[in-house]
Amino acid sequence: MYGKRSPPALFKRSNKKKLVLSVAFYCGIIVVLHMKVGDYFFEKCRFFVNSTTEFINRRYDALERGFLNLRYFVFEDVHSALMNLRNENISLSAEVENLKKLRSENEELRKLLSLKKSIRYSAIAAKVINIFSNDFTRSILLNVGKNDGVSVGDLVINCDGLVGRILETNDAHSRALLITDMNAVIPVKIGDRQINAIMTGGGSDKLWISALREDVPIEEGEVVKTSAYGICEDIPVGTIKKEGQKLAVKSKVAFHLLKHVIVLKKED
């Protein structure tokens, strides 16, 4: 039996060379294809990324502009509405305050009208035009004068008591000296015993009993009224208040807030 004969060495070398060339050829093709396809794929990816980024940026800008416009219109409307509400609230508050003042004045006028009907003296309703209050004088200017029947010496009152006395007058106006003025001197009587005394102004809101006609003790809280020595009797003035050794008179009249008063004339 004869064994198989091995191929010649030259043939073996030829096959190896072909294999190497084939591998090199295919590797070259793969490299070339990779370069071409890779560049193309990279360009496509870069184009896609850039297009996507630009698209997103455009949409973001549009969305941002829309949001800003919406915020401007919405918040501008809200701000405008709030300002309108604020202005309306201020206006309503002013109207409420005005109504309170009118109601207070109407209440005061009703009380004065009731007082005017209840007193036994001729009464002339007057409005306070101005209040003068300083270190030298305390007086009020009224919108009534001689043409209305006002005379010098007439008493001026309101619902809380004695206010003052007419000091001077012309045809249309008159000035009344407040009982708190240092030059004011008013004959009064104290308590149920009707103790006669002289009351003077203290230059502020203070009123003092400066002289007693009788040497009798006076108790705090006793009522003080005008006496028969004045023009009009029994007009309330205030109550006695002791301040040390002095006797003061506490009045209910708010002299700095006077608006309406009544001028009293004694019946003939």
Is residue 188 in a domain? yes
> Which structure tokens are listed for 21?
């060339």
| pLDDT confidence of residue 109 | 65
Is residue 103 in a domain? yes
* Residue 125 per-residue DSSP state: E
- The H-or-E segment that residue 208 falls in is strand 207-212
- DSSP reduced 3-state for 24: helix
Task: Specify the number of domains making up the chain.
Answer: 2
| pLDDT confidence of residue 17 | 64
Does 78 share its domain with 132? no
Please give the residue that has the higher pLDDT: either 61 or 175: 175
Does 252 share its domain with 154? yes
* Closest residue by Cα to residue 126 from 170, 167, 172, 161: 172
Burial string for 154-185 (b: 16+ CB within 10 Å, else e) reads bbbbbbbbbbbbbbebeeebbbbbbbbbeebe
Question: Which of 118, 139, 168 finishes a domain?
Answer: 118
Global pTM value: 0.60
Q: Do 146 and 214 form a contact (C-beta atoms < 8 A)?
A: no
Does 136 share its domain with 230? yes
Is residue 218 in a domain? yes
| pLDDT confidence of residue 2 | 47
Q: Is 246 left (phi over 0), alpha (psi -120 to 50) or beta?
A: beta
| pLDDT confidence of residue 1 | 45
Is residue 38 in a domain? yes
Which domain does 21 fall in, by range?
A: 10-118
**pLDDT digit string, tens, across residues 63-87:** 777 766 666 666 666 667 777 788 8
Is residue 50 in a domain? yes
Question: Which of 62, 88, 118 finishes a domain?
Answer: 118
Is residue 195 in a domain? yes
Does 80 share its domain with 105? yes
The percentage of the chain sitting over the pLDDT mark of 70, rounded to a whole number, equals: 68
Q: How far is CA 78 from CA 16, 67, 71, 83, in A?
A: 88, 16, 10, 9
Question: Which of 92, 118, 144 finishes a domain?
Answer: 118
Does 105 share its domain with 127? no
Give the least confident one: 79-83, 152-156, 209-213.
79-83
Q: At 34, give phi and psi (nearest 5°).
A: -65, -40
Please give the residue that has the higher pLDDT: either 150 or 136: 150
Block residue for tokens 């203070």:
206
Report how far residue 158's alpha carbon sits from residue 181's, in angstroms, rounded to the nearest whole number. 17
Does 36 share its domain with 103? yes
Block residue for tokens 């191929």:
7
Does 138 share its domain with 259? yes
pLDDT exceeds cutoff 90 at 62: no
Does 148 share its domain with 25? no
Is residue 189 in a domain? yes
Does 165 share its domain with 251? yes
Does 88 share its domain with 172? no
Quick one: average pLDDT of 8-27? 62
Is residue 1 in a domain? no
Q: What is the CATH number of the domain that holds 210?
A: 2.40.10.340
Report how far residue 56's alpha carbon sits from residue 50's, in angstroms, rounded to the nearest whole number. 10
**pLDDT digit string, tens, across residues 37-48:** 555 555 666 666
Does 128 share its domain with 109? no
Does 132 share its domain with 241? yes
Report the chain's mean pLDDT, rounded to a whole number.
79
